[in-house]
Amino acid sequence: MRTIISLIATLLIGAGVNKAASDEKKVIRISTDSTDLLLQVGDNGRLYQTYLGPKLLHEADTREFDWSRHAATDGAVSRRGWEAYATSGNEDFFEPALGMTHADGNMTTYLYYVDSSSEPVDGGIHTRISLRDNKYPLDVTLNYMAYPKENVIKTWSEISHHEKKPVSLWQYASGMLYFDKGEYWLTEFSGDWAKEAGMSSQQLQFGKKVIDTKLGSRAAMHASPFFEVGLDGPVKEHSGEVLMGTIGWTGNFRFTFEIDNVGNLRVIPGINPYASAYKLDADETFTTPEFIFTLSYDGTSQGSRDLQAWARRYGLKDGDAPRLTLLNNWENTGFKFDENILSGLMKEARQLGVDMFLLDDGWFGNKYPRRNDRAGLGDWEATRDKLPGGIPALVDSARNAGVKFGIWIEPEMVNPKSELYEKHPDWVIEQPDRDTYYYRNQLVLDMSNPKVQDHVFGVVDDILTKNPDVAYFKWDCNSPITNIYSPYQKGNQGNLYIDHVRGIYNVLKRIKEKYPDVPMMLCSGGGARCDYEALKYFTEFWCSDNTDPVERAYIQWGFSQFFPSKAMAAHVTGWNKKTTVKFRTDMASMCRLGFDIGLEKLSPDELAYCRDAVANWKRLSPAIMDGTQYRLVSPYDTNHMAVEYVDGTGNTAVVFAYDLATRFSEKLQRVKLQGLDSAKRYLVKEINLMPGTETRFPQDGKILTGDYLMKIGLDLLSSRQKTSMVVELTAQ
């Protein structure tokens, strides 16, 4: 039977390749309103990228590709370099997108064009290109989804085969992009706990620069899954050509940037194949994560706006829905609370004017109560002595206080000191005969095991079945995968890192299907999970446990490169008490606003200020959450930061301006606004003022034209330390 299948497959392969010959020179055009990505079948029947850049005006020009630009030094025109999905073992001597060992041990793969099709999908055009090996029954489909209006392209690949035995995949990129420029400058986003998404730049030179993670579950703790490449010099905010890319993968990812012998750059985003030689059975399809990118010709600010607009429309769960302001208790109480304390906090939430109270870690575990992070994780029953009425009593208290109730979970993890671990030691990723390394005293459940997936789904399902009024989840993930070994995978350990992440998605899909309207916050010991695949299921992510407003300026600036404000959660806490409550609140107000502070720590004026700030935030959320963002003054380039949001009508705008580490008598630049209507006249008003303080804003109360505001600007900055100003603009 197998032999007949292979014979048919071989005949079909032949047919595909013959067809390719007739499609020789076929051009596939993937376009947005401002960008073209052109792929063309070469005279050898293989598929090459011929162009990626600003949109071409004339269709005929898309065929005028100068192949000699792509010739390697030996003059082998179209035979080396720029293959759309380069494979291993052929004449391309640089990093491939696909590398595999076939069932017979052969490590070469040659992909030939078979056919392609395009169809309209929600917001864009989906192009599928089929490629096939001419010697092995191996198929690769390249997918490109272009969103014209937002100038965003999403690409991913599907790999399948009908070989007699499983094949081993050891490179499986989501896609591949090439550039032919004089200089390439990479901006990466790296850090650690409490210092997420720190930006740094370097010029790329011959060879490879790799950004990757091997952390498995808390995967983005040291490197965020996004990057920028300046294509004519270091990236700039308001000018220059820049590639901005991000991968939707909540596990180990890898970005490879390689400059070849002729100075061309290839960018290869994908899952990190580290310890992941993937055994792929015949007739199964390996689907790579989506790589989402934009090319901006006006610097990162425009690229961010395009990505943010795309995210709100297509990338983010409930991207068009409002967000809930909240009071959290983690920074305030830690593990020390009971029913009484919580019902008091719910009343405080009401006093602040926020929508919800969010109960954090420490509410569960009976045999091993969760009094600290050393026990109880995995046992999702309310601790009886702490919370005798369980979740139902808390939901009732919240209802009585007039706020919604949300709850923290970390369902993919387990403390060894838990009933779950006692019952199911084989559900855990752990080396049976070696010393175990515990990160935060916990271990990661093996999400590749369907039984574990059922358990994790059950955590959410059980809470919501018994308490349908639970309005929100904060889903945490505090440990990387240590001691990598799955009893479930047995001889297929190479599949574990990948199937683990796919298992998480299986669970999230089930939750979204059954509870489509429950918002969830993605959290990972701060911001170590922040990718667009997870954000199909989460309405927002927690940027960082570092809520010091000065540090937050940099963290939020970093994340804002790729995410809209409504995806980014920020709370006012007691971090950096040397700064005022106003400064802390104004910093959190440029994201989804929340609080995590006891009201007894606020003076009556501060409380009045916070209530006012919450009301202002809600009123202005069409601009802050759903409007267009303009990053005006960078904390990386100056001692200040200013960010502006303009609502969809162009009639309301709000500007947040912050003085960070200012210098004595430094020269202060006026801040020129953007995105306004030059012809309109705007009332300019400082808001979020502390009770009893007078505005020091020179233009307060003036009516100024959009033209003036954008050409002359406002005196929003000061040389005082750690101060902030929030200004509302209303078209008259």
Residues of the shown chain interacting with ligand DGJ in the complex, contacts defined by CB under 6 A: 330, 360-361, 408, 476, 478, 523, 525-526, 542, 545
Which residue's CB is nearer to ligand DGJ, number 92 or number 361?
361
β-strand partners of 245? 227, 293
Cα angle at 269 between 168 and 637, to 5 degrees? Answer: 155
Q: How far apart are the first and last CA of the chain?
A: 78
Contact between 41 and 49 (Cβ < 8 Å): no
Q: Which residues are CB-neighbours of 430 under 8 A, at least 6 positions away? A: 436, 443, 483, 485
Residue 441 beta carbon to ligand DGJ: minimum distance, rounded to whole angstroms: 11
β partners of residue 730: 652, 683
Rounded to whole angstroms, what are the CA distances from 527 to 120, 318, 503, 586?
35, 20, 21, 20
How far apart are CB 523 and ligand DGJ at their closest, in Å? 5
Give least dist CB 193 to ligand DGJ, A. 9
How far, in Å, CA of 201 to CA of 290, rounded? 25
Instruction: Report in angstroms how near the CB of residue 213 gets to ligand DGJ at its nearest.
Output: 18
Nearer to ligand DGJ, 30 or 359 (CB): 359
Which residues are CB-neighbours of 124 under 8 A, at least 6 positions away?
Answer: 145, 146, 147, 148, 314
3-state secondary structure of 498: helix
- Of 221 and 657, nearer to ligand DGJ (C-beta) is 221
Closer to ligand DGJ by CB, 520 or 646: give it: 520
In this complex, which beta carbon is closest to ligand DGJ, that of residue 330 or of residue 532? Answer: 330
Quick one: 478 or 565, whose CB is closer to ligand DGJ? 478
Give 237 or 331: the residue with its C-beta nearer to ligand DGJ: 331
Taking CA atoms, 192 is separated from 22, 197, 326, 431, 637, in Å, by 53, 8, 26, 26, 22
Q: Which is nearer to ligand DGJ, 113 or 542 (CB)?
A: 542
Q: Smallest gap, in angstroms, from Cβ of residue 459 to ligand DGJ?
A: 16
Q: Tell me how far, at minimum, the Cβ of 356 lies from ligand DGJ, in Å.
A: 15
Cα–Cα distance between 729 and 685 in angstroms, integer? 6
Cβ neighbours for 152, distance < 8 A, ≥ 6 positions apart: 32, 146, 292, 293, 294, 306, 307, 310
* Contact between residue 95 and residue 83 where contact means Cβ atoms under 8 Å apart: no
- Using CB positions, name the residue nearest to ligand DGJ: 361
Q: Which is nearer to ligand DGJ, 131 or 349 (CB)?
A: 349
Name the residue nearer to ligand DGJ (CB basis): 37 or 197: 197
Q: What is the DSSP string of 532-594?
A: TTGGGT-SEEE--S---HHHHHHHHHHHHTTS-GGGEEEEE-SSSTTS-HHHHHHHHTTSEEE
DSSP 462: H
Tokens for 187?
């901006």
* CB of 479 vs ligand DGJ, minimal distance in Å: 11
In whole angstroms, give the CA distance from residue 491 to residue 562.
39
Q: How far is the CB of 413 from ligand DGJ (least distance, A)?
A: 10
Q: How far is the CB of 436 from ligand DGJ (least distance, A)?
A: 21
- Output the smallest distance, CB 561 to ligand DGJ, in A: 21
